[in-house]
Amino acid sequence: MGIGALTAAGCRTNQPAEGPGKATREYYELRAYRLKAGTNHELLDTYLEKAAIPALNRLGAKPVGVFTESEPKDGPAVYVLIPYASLDLMAKVTTSLNADPAIQQAGAEYLQSPKSAPAFERIDSWLLLAFAGMPKLELPAYSLEKKARLFEMRTYDSHSELKALKKVDMFNSGEIETMREVGLAPVFYGQTLVGRDLPHLTYMLSAENQEAHKKHWEGFRKHPVWDKLQKDPQYADTVSHITNRFLTPTSYSQI
């Protein structure tokens, strides 16, 4: 099934830039704005919605996803996913975004927050490269229509760089298409190039609700392609630890 085809769980919005199998692979920046326990993130929300995301879109970085975790595993945080067509675009955005007087004005309250009341504790950031098997981010139909939806973000740690690459290969060799087929509606897959806790990969799935998501996972686990892949000796011991997070999009999230 081609990149531009429709699926039962959603639709794919990106066409290959260089013909079948040769689409330019995107880069993703995944940010985690770490918050103090018990504090809200209204200041951060206002900055992202009114200042940062409109500017990112104007610069060519879109769609931008913003999420909170239903049951935080390591403290409260706001997760932001930013797609870039190239590293040059990422460099341009990183160096120019908050230097723009218009952004400084629109996000003044956030950017000028005092030391005694910061808008966040710290920001963690990871740079990811899209998998060859899904070179561009895909939006499910319920995101395009702004319907109720949930996302599961999964991170797979590996004990060696070679095993991490083999796990990427496993996804590209049938796991991605199987997930699409059973309705898991993947949003992105990324090999982490820079960031803490390497080596690992991260990907995101979606559904209209928890019940549907659970059924889609059941279909995946029973699928003959997955059964064959997980029994293939070349993919043994590729994952040492899995972290999954259930994420809820903010009202202004574009994903």
Tell me: the pLDDT tens digits for 152-172? 999 999 999 999 999 999 999
Residue 3: what pLDDT?
Answer: 35
Using the predicted structure, report yes or no on whether residue 14 has a pLDDT greater than 80.
no
For residues 23-34, average pLDDT = 95
Using the predicted structure, report yes or no on whether residue 17 has a pLDDT greater than 80.
no
Neighbour-count burial of 172, counting CB atoms closer than 10 A to its CB (0-12 exposed, 13-18 middle, 19+ buried): middle
Give domain limits for the chain: 27-249
Residue 255: what pLDDT?
Answer: 96
Neighbour-count burial of 233, counting CB atoms closer than 10 A to its CB (0-12 exposed, 13-18 middle, 19+ buried): exposed
Q: How far is CA 11 from the centre of its chain?
A: 17
Using the predicted structure, report yes or no on whether residue 6 has a pLDDT greater than 70.
no
Residues 6+ apart with CB under 8 A from 188: 26, 28, 81, 83, 128, 130, 134, 137, 138, 203, 204
Using the predicted structure, report yes or no on whether residue 4 has a pLDDT greater than 50.
no
CATH ID of 27-249, from 3.30.70.100, 3.30.390.30, 1.20.1250.20, 3.20.20.80: 3.30.70.100
Distance CA 175, CA 87 (A): 27
The owner of tokens 């799935």 is 205
Q: How far is CA 210 from the centre of its chain?
A: 18
CA distances from 180 to 1, 12, 54, 146, 191 (A): 10, 11, 30, 21, 19
User: pLDDT by residue (tens digit) across 117-146?
Assistant: 999 999 999 999 999 999 999 998 888 888
Confidence of residue 79 (pLDDT cuts 50, 70, 90): very high
Distance CA 232, CA 234 (A): 6
Distance CA 195, CA 182 (A): 31
Using the predicted structure, report yes or no on whether residue 5 has a pLDDT greater than 50.
no
Mean pLDDT of the chain: 91
Share of the chain above pLDDT 70, in %: 91
Distance CA 56, CA 28 (A): 13
For residues 177-186, average pLDDT = 97
